[in-house]
Amino acid sequence: MKFHKEGYPTLLLTILFSTIIITIAKLIFPEFAIAHWFAYTLSAFLLIVVLQFFRHPSRVHTINENAIIAPADGKVVVIEETEETEYFKDKRIQVSIFMSPINVHVNRFPIAGDVTYAKYHPGKFLVASLPKASTENERTSVVVKHASNGKSVLFRQVAGALARRIVMYCKEGDKATQCGEMGFIKFGSRVDLYLPLDTKLKVKMGEVVKGSQSIIAEF
């Protein structure tokens, strides 16, 4: 189990805050052991939360050129045919995965190929489960053209009420490796996939999936 690089600034702030509250507890309440224990307990709790959130577990990736692999851990909350208006401007199958704060928040490429589109959109921080979050919240949109069959998949990171930092590592012209690290979303959110209409879905509503391992659909 590794600690993700995106977590180091948060870890340093947590350690600094913990040092301050422990010092204050000892200076202001030198005779009250309960105040000291409270400061230690709070510090330990915050440290555990940060270490848990930014964990980066090693995994055996599912590599399959005919499959679209889950880009994130979480629960499937949307499966529907919809109009994708940003890039394709046509009908697509939307599959959305909700990531809770306890999920691993590393985001990965669902297929291998060429990154033909990559854009960051500033926006709101509505609850990620709302349908309009996909078009109104802070988000990124990445399109990868399949290396073999030429079909394209749009992958969207969507901020939520708690997510205040989206990190996208790719840009247009890059080569995407299936299950390779694409980005990170801090503190809970969702990811949307927009798939060609002729893809065969392999997941159901409410199903829990694992990033880089679960098969979402097949071409």
List, for residues 192-210, the tens digit of each pLDDT value.
999 999 999 999 999 999 9
pTM assigned to the model: 0.86
State whether 15 and 87 are in the same domain.
no
Structure confidence at residue 133 (pLDDT): 62
φ and ψ at 124, to 5 degrees? -85, 180
- Structurally, the chain folds into a number of domains equal to 2
In a domain, 61, yes or no: no
Can you tell me the distance from the alpha carbon of 137 to that of 193, in angstroms, rounded to the nearest whole number? Answer: 16
State whether 27 and 127 are in the same domain.
no
State whether 34 and 90 are in the same domain.
no
Structure confidence at residue 128 (pLDDT): 60
Can you tell me the distance from the alpha carbon of 113 to that of 146, in angstroms, rounded to the nearest whole number? Answer: 5
State whether 26 and 121 are in the same domain.
no
State whether 17 and 123 are in the same domain.
no
pLDDT digits (tens, 9 = 90+) for 101-139: 889 889 999 999 999 999 998 877 666 666 666 667 788
State whether 84 and 162 are in the same domain.
yes
Can you tell me the distance from the alpha carbon of 123 to that of 132, in angstroms, rounded to the nearest whole number? Answer: 11
State whether 212 and 118 are in the same domain.
yes
Where residue 188 falls among pLDDT bands split at 50, 70, 90? low
The answer to whether 59 and 213 have CB atoms below 8 angstroms apart is yes
Q: Which of 13, 35, 56 is the last residue of a domain?
A: 56
In a domain, 151, yes or no: yes
Residues classed as catalytic: 189
In a domain, 72, yes or no: yes
In a domain, 185, yes or no: yes
pLDDT digits (tens, 9 = 90+) for 137-183: 788 999 999 988 999 999 999 887 665 678 899 999 999 999 999 99
Residue 84 is part of which domain span? Answer: 67-218
pLDDT digits (tens, 9 = 90+) for 86-103: 999 999 999 999 988 889
